[in-house]
Amino acid sequence: MILSAHQPAYLPWLGYFAKMSLTDTFVVHDLSPIGRRNMLNRNRIRSADGDLVLTVPLDHRDLRAELPLNRIRLVDDGWQRRHWKAIQLAYRRAPFFAEHADFLEGYYRGRYPTLDRLCRPFIEYCIDALKLDCAVAWMSELDIEDFDRQSIIPLLSERYGADMFIVGPHAAGYLDAALVERVGVRLRVFDYDHPSYPQSRPGFVSHLSVLDLLVNCGPAGVDVVREGLGWAPSSL
């Protein structure tokens, strides 16, 4: 049984869902602190003027308090209107934009008190659109207490009966692999080879939000995501 986990992210990139596609169960770690220098509240789309970063403003008091993601509040400064307008301008002529427009319009009309609540409907929509066959759980709903970076993988693996856990490429910097493997869980490193795909603007730009893939490739997007998985995960 293969397990993995990642924090919730706003408009995630392709690799987020590629990692998910390798697992039997994927845990969205909404109890994680947001940390620094990450992309959890922002991602890039491709506009007529080049890459455009869409950033969701967060309450700085919650950030300073280092609250978990499910308690970090959003700042309502009109960002939803701006983001939806930017997406329309960037992709309204993309071949499959119309197929996703109704969802996106409703998504940007929603009310989201915290970052995890914002991320959830988009992630769930993409799971369905990309036809991913894995179970998804949210850490805040699992009633697992007293965990840290070292204990969370053994605890989750025990919960789901997993014998393999896929970790990110930076895990070697903080994770005690020997400790995890002593409880019978093999660690494998996820390292995604980003594929190229047709985009409605000349040239190809990688590492954009998965939204770019959905509106440009439609149902073929699932094959593109998996195309980057032509490798064997390596040990930590």
For CA atoms 8, 68, 116, 56, the dihedral sign is negative
Higher-scoring residue by pLDDT: 158, 73: 73
For residue 124, the tally of other CB atoms under 10 A from its CB is 12
Q: Is the pLDDT of residue 120 over 80?
A: yes
Question: Residue 78, by phi and psi: left (phi above 0), alpha (psi -120 to 50) or beta?
Answer: left
Length of the chain: 236
Q: What is the pTM of this model?
A: 0.91
Strands (E), 19-104: 25-28, 42-47, 50-55
- Average pLDDT of span 178-193: 84
Given a cut of 80, is residue 179 above it in pLDDT?
A: no
Q: Cβ contacts of residue 88 below 8 Å, gap of 6+?
A: none
- Any idea what the Cα angle at residue 97 is, between residues 91 and 102, rounded to 5°? 115
CB 225 within 8 A of CB 130: yes
Highest mean pLDDT among 34-38, 54-58, 198-202, 232-236: 54-58
Residue 234 pLDDT exceeds 60: no
At what angle are helices 97-107 and 210-217 packed, to 10 degrees?
Answer: 140
Note the pLDDT tens digit of each residue in 62-113.
999 989 999 999 999 999 999 999 999 999 999 999 999 999 999 999 999 9
Using a 10 angstrom Cβ sphere, with 0-12 exposed, 13-18 middle and 19 or more buried, the burial of residue 128 is: exposed
Indicate whether 10 pLDDT > 90: yes
Report the distance separating Cα 148 and Cα 81, nearest Å: 37
Structure tokens at 12: 């995630």
